[in-house]
Structure 1
């Protein structure tokens, strides 16, 4: 595999990641306001960090499939996988505290161990921790020996980790619910993760010209899967259409749908004003980076809404 030979400075990464993190937290706060409950959903913060890190891991590992001149950025991938592991562990602690009915600070080691060993949510969490830990360790070793490393292993473990929690949620009680939930999570992660990885890694006009049109071709069906499975999953959780306005879950679902519609409109506009011009080398790398950052920031708001929706009854 060829490489661009250019290492992106950490400061450039934070120019992208900073706004994305802020936007995701804004999405959580907005969902909390719409949910209209007294307690702030701290578990949603941990979950949005986990989902965002997981999506970025998938994007960084899959990026060379869009442009074979790009190598996998193993060092940041290992760091993000480590963050993913920590966030998933935090989600587990919060879920255990909720099951026991105590604040997180009062959760005992005995209750947490019982949750992990005897309840399905805890056992699923252990499997997720194994997958994310394996990705972090493998990526750390791959950084030292990149020539013998394969991103395919990362993609497999990441896909399993992202699918495990959705398939055990409320949709698992409906016919094909688990499949739809897993497809929704994976499609959303690929849609966000690939574009975020491009914003983090791609820095030349030529690489944008080679990578962006291929991403755009993948993004269209991914958006369709996200929209369709999200609609089915959301309506399956509601007790009638009036619940869209009378319940916190319904209001968050409406907000998430509105952001998704905005993203679809933005994607349509980008295809007309950005993608084709970038493919013809008529857009600067700085402009492409700015456009990609704008879109992933809006996606991050939807991610924050989705993370809170997932922990809302």
Structure 2
């Protein structure tokens, strides 16, 4: 009984990590709203950051066993988070439809929303994303009852499609290799953020961290390079120069996101010196590893909120 209570307490403490992460992501949206200094309430951005965050964690939970073969997919959390992802994506569609029609969300009619879904490309893309997220939620719910017959590969494929579908059909699709850069940026960011948060939620012992963290650290460096390079190209193409970085709302948000990314690169460098190597040698407790991971994903969440606002900013 004592062991059971200790495990339950550890699990609860790990899932509490989501609280500061969600708050930081919403704070990132609020910060971007202030930097934009124009426009109304950023409801679409708040929904977008929830969708992006939930999608990244679903992707991370499904990919985690690839970093440590002793781990198994946590199907129940995948199902719950995929359900939240579906709901957030639906909310994004409602805000998009209201913006196109030119009415407040509360005044959007069912017929207008149906027209948006059926006749406009944004709505049709949204339907495809809803199909992917709904399929993941249903599959994960079934896999929880029959884990031996379930495959994480199906979740990874559907999650990757859902995460990349909107970016590859956005403004960058009109540029040479733009869709490739947009997809690489979205998937690298989801992998970087989602895997670390999944580790914070799932890993319970010193041995788990020792086996998983060094592999994640080796993967994180190239992911950050991809995120920085593709994000910089995307941003400069979008604003059309250097001066708009401080004269336009989009540019100021982009500059803030780049600043947070630089802070994360510095933090990652420090973790490699003070945490990753020692954790790989079993010289760091699971509690310290959880604390360090929570700090990093919380900072990452601020960047996620800024990115979500960029995605819905004209």
User: Which residue of the partner structure matches residue 113 of structure 1?
Assistant: 114
Name the TM-score, length of structure 2 as normaliser.
Answer: 0.96
Between the aligned partners of 2:204 and 2:144, the Cα distance in structure 1 is: 21
In the superposition, relative to structure 1, how do residues 225 and 7 fare at CA in structure 2: closer, same or farther (>3 Å)?
farther
- The correspondence of residues 1-313 of structure 1 with structure 2, limited to 5 A, is 11-313=12-314
Q: What stretches of structure 1 move > 4 A for 4+ residues in a row?
A: 6-10
1:176-226 Cα distance to aligned partner (Å, 9 max, x none): 111111110000000000000000000100000000000011111101100
Between the aligned partners of 1:243 and 1:38, the Cα distance in structure 2 is: 18
Secondary structure of the corresponding residue to residue 17 of structure 2: helix
Q: What's the RMSD between the two structures over aligned residues?
A: 1.1
Between the aligned partners of 2:10 and 2:204, the Cα distance in structure 1 is: 11
User: Which residue of the partner structure matches residue 3 of structure 1?
Assistant: none
1:32-62 Cα distance to aligned partner (Å, 9 max, x none): 0000014121100000000000000000000
Question: Contact (CA 8 Å) 2:14, 2:290: kept in 1 or not?
Answer: no
1:83-113 Cα distance to aligned partner (Å, 9 max, x none): 0000000000100000000011111111111
Number of matched pairs: 308
Question: Contact (CA 8 Å) 1:204, 1:285: kept in 2 or not?
Answer: yes
1:105-162 Cα distance to aligned partner (Å, 9 max, x none): 1111111111111111000000000000000000000000001101110000000000
Secondary structure of the corresponding residue to residue 132 of structure 1: helix
Question: Contact (CA 8 Å) 1:23, 1:301: kept in 2 or not?
Answer: yes
Question: Contact (CA 8 Å) 1:8, 1:201: kept in 2 or not?
Answer: no
Question: Contact (CA 8 Å) 1:245, 1:251: kept in 2 or not?
Answer: yes
In the superposition, relative to structure 1, how do residues 81 and 106 fare at CA in structure 2: closer, same or farther (>3 Å)?
same
Between the aligned partners of 2:187 and 2:22, the Cα distance in structure 1 is: 20
Secondary structure of the corresponding residue to residue 72 of structure 2: coil
1:172 shift after superposition? 1.2
Between the aligned partners of 2:113 and 2:174, the Cα distance in structure 1 is: 26
Question: Contact (CA 8 Å) 2:47, 2:88: kept in 1 or not?
Answer: yes
Between the aligned partners of 2:156 and 2:79, the Cα distance in structure 1 is: 13
1:251-309 Cα distance to aligned partner (Å, 9 max, x none): 00000000000000100110111000000011111000000000000000000000001
In the superposition, relative to structure 1, how do residues 10 and 103 fare at CA in structure 2: closer, same or farther (>3 Å)?
farther
Between the aligned partners of 1:199 and 1:75, the Cα distance in structure 2 is: 16
